[in-house]
């Protein structure tokens, strides 16, 4: 069992930098939570407060109902895996994995059993006699995970564990972490700046910006119903396109286009008639159609789909640029004009940036 309750956590560093504001989250037993956001948004600070590596300035942290706000890290029964695996170079893989248990003077037979079991889960059985420098980056990261697994902690904390790996290894190791979670059914909190990792790993994502939680929800909730402009632009790749539009009774109007609203959208935007809102559309929700004309700048074939970048009207500006991800293989050339339709539209309050629901 490992429920974690984060209640109104604040972190202010000694230099008066407030890194985290009023962080609230109830982590369920066995849940995989991913904290995601750009560099400097307070993800690591939050994780380190949970681990006990940073003091909590204000708020409360509970583990299975017990207040651990001031408990030293070693008594929290949590294991942390870092970006730089920090393995001992002079020790073998086996010794690295056994180290924390040896230090605790556990029974050598028990240590052996635990190391062999972790090595099997992580496909490291054949590597146990090697030194870290004889391993690939992915294998070293697995050894770092092995060190955490042998301790059988209540909670696993991962701080950007894949960012030192190349793209292919990142994908493979990501899938291993997912399997590890399924197999161990442990509570895991995972920090990353990579929205793909968040979408593929998390049961629930916590999206942060500038020390503030922006939205907490399943990957699909954040992708499908982002709470505000920040989440809408951060989750999804390539990012959502945005346009400032004027709301009329049954249309929205931009200097370069005008679009008919569905009855549901008209209802949604009723109180904004005569005002400006921000229209968002994901590149994959744009298809060849008849609503707008885009002048093509570039065409990138991805195999199953084609990324087409361009702009509306005659001039390329931030409010006329558009990226679409069209199905199949397209061969547009620079200067071609392509007719498009927006299949799913999101609307945001231009003042508050909140999604209009
Ligand atoms: P992230 O993990 O999202 O990249 P961090 O939690 O590392 O962000 O940092 C959040 C903010 O706190 C940043 O502005 C960072 O500069 C600041 N910060 C982090 N660690 C310290 C520290 N030890 N002392 C002072 N400020 C810090």
Instruction: Please state the rounded mean pLDDT for residues 300-318.
Output: 92
Domain final residue, candidates 234, 256, 285: 234
Residue 171 shares a structural domain with residue 195: yes
Query: Domain with 287 in it: what CATH number?
Result: 2.40.50.140
Band of pLDDT at residue 86, cut at 50, 70 and 90:
confident
Residue 267 shares a structural domain with residue 215: no
Residue 68 shares a structural domain with residue 90: yes
pLDDT at 244: 96
pLDDT tens, 311-357?
998 888 888 999 999 999 999 999 999 999 999 999 999 999 999 99
**129 assigned to some structural domain:** yes
Which pairing describes strands 66-67 and 58-63: parallel, antiparallel, or unpaired? antiparallel
**309 assigned to some structural domain:** yes
Please list, in sequence order, all residues whose beta carbon lies within 8 angstroms of the beta carbon of residue 221, skipping any fewer than 6 positions away. Answer: 215
Query: Domain with 12 in it: what CATH number?
Result: 3.40.50.300
Q: Using CA atoms, how far apart are residues 161 and 234, in angstroms rounded to an integer? A: 20
Q: Give the domain extent around 182.
A: 4-234
Residue 293 shares a structural domain with residue 342: yes
User: Structural domain tally of the chain?
Assistant: 2
pLDDT at 180: 86
pLDDT tens, 2-39?
999 999 999 999 999 999 999 999 999 999 999 999 99
**101 assigned to some structural domain:** yes
Does residue 215 have its Cβ closer than 6 Å to ligand 1? no
**354 assigned to some structural domain:** no
Q: Which residues pair with 62 in a beta bridge?
A: 5, 67
Report the nearest-CA residue for atom 11 of ligand 1: 19
Residue 290 shares a structural domain with residue 188: no
pLDDT tens, 154-209?
999 999 988 878 888 888 888 888 988 988 889 999 999 999 999 999 999 999 99
The structure's pTM equals 0.93
Phi and psi at 290, nearest 5°, equal: -140, 20
If DSSP codes are grouped into helix, strand and coil, which group holds residue 242? strand
Instruction: Please state the rounded mean pLDDT for residues 213-239.
Output: 98
Residue 64 shares a structural domain with residue 82: yes
Domain final residue, candidates 234, 268, 291: 234
CB 17 within 8 A of CB 40: no
Residue 205 shares a structural domain with residue 102: yes
Residue 214 shares a structural domain with residue 289: no
Residue 246 shares a structural domain with residue 207: no
- Does the pLDDT of residue 270 top 90, yes or no? yes
Q: Report the residue among 13, 57, 206 best suited for mutation to probe ligand 1: largest number of ligand atoms under 8 A from its CB.
A: 13
pLDDT at 165: 81
**81 assigned to some structural domain:** yes
**357 assigned to some structural domain:** no
Domain final residue, candidates 209, 234, 259: 234
Residue 204 shares a structural domain with residue 305: no
Q: Report the residue among 15, 17, 37, 82 best suited for mutation to probe ligand 1: largest number of ligand atoms under 8 A from its CB.
A: 17
Instruction: Please state the rounded mean pLDDT for residues 221-232.
Output: 98
Residue 73 shares a structural domain with residue 170: yes
């Amino acid at each position: 069992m490992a429920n974690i309750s984060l209640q109104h956590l604040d972190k202010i560093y000694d230099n008066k930098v407030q890194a985290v504001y009023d962080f609230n989250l109830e982590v369920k037993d066995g849940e995989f939570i991913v904290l995601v956001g750009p560099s400097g948004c307070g993800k690591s600070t939050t994780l380190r407060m949970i681990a006990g590596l940073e003091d909590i300035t204000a708020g409360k942290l509970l583990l299975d109902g017990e207040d651990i706000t001031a408990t030293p890290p070693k008594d929290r029964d949590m294991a942390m895996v870092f970006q730089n695996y920090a393995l001992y170079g002079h020790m073998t893989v086996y010794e690295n994995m056994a180290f924390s248990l040896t230090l605790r003077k556990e029974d050598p037979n028990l240590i052996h059993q635990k190391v062999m079991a972790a090595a099997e889960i992580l496909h490291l059985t054949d590597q146990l006699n090697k030194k870290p420098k004889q391993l690939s980056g992915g294998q070293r990261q697995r050894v770092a995970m092995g060190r955490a697994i042998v301790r059988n902690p209540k909670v696993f904390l991962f701080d950007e564990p894949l960012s030192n790996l190349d793209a292919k290894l990142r994908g493979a190791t990501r899938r291993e972490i997912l399997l590890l979670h399924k197999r161990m059914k442990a509570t895991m909190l995972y920090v990353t700046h990579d929205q793909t990792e968040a979408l593929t790993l998390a049961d629930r994502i916590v999206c942060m910006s500038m020390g503030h939680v922006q939205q907490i929800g399943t990957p699909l909730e954040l992708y499908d119903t982002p709470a505000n402009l920040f989440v809408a632009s951060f989750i999804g790749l390539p990012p959502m396109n945005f346009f400032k539009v004027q709301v009329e009774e049954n249309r929205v109007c931009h200097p370069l286009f005008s679009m008919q609203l569905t009855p549901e959208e008209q209802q949604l935007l009723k109180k904004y008639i005569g005002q400006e809102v921000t229209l968002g559309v994901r590149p994959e929700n744009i298809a060849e159609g008849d609503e707008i004309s885009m002048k093509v700048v570039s065409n990138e074939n991805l195999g199953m789909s084609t990324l087409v970048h361009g702009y509306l009207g005659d001039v390329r500006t931030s409010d006329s640029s558009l990226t679409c991800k069209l199905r199949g293989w397209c061969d547009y050339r620079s200067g071609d004009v392509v007719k498009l339709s927006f299949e799913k539209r999101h609307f945001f309050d231009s003042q508050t940036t909140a999604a209009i629901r």
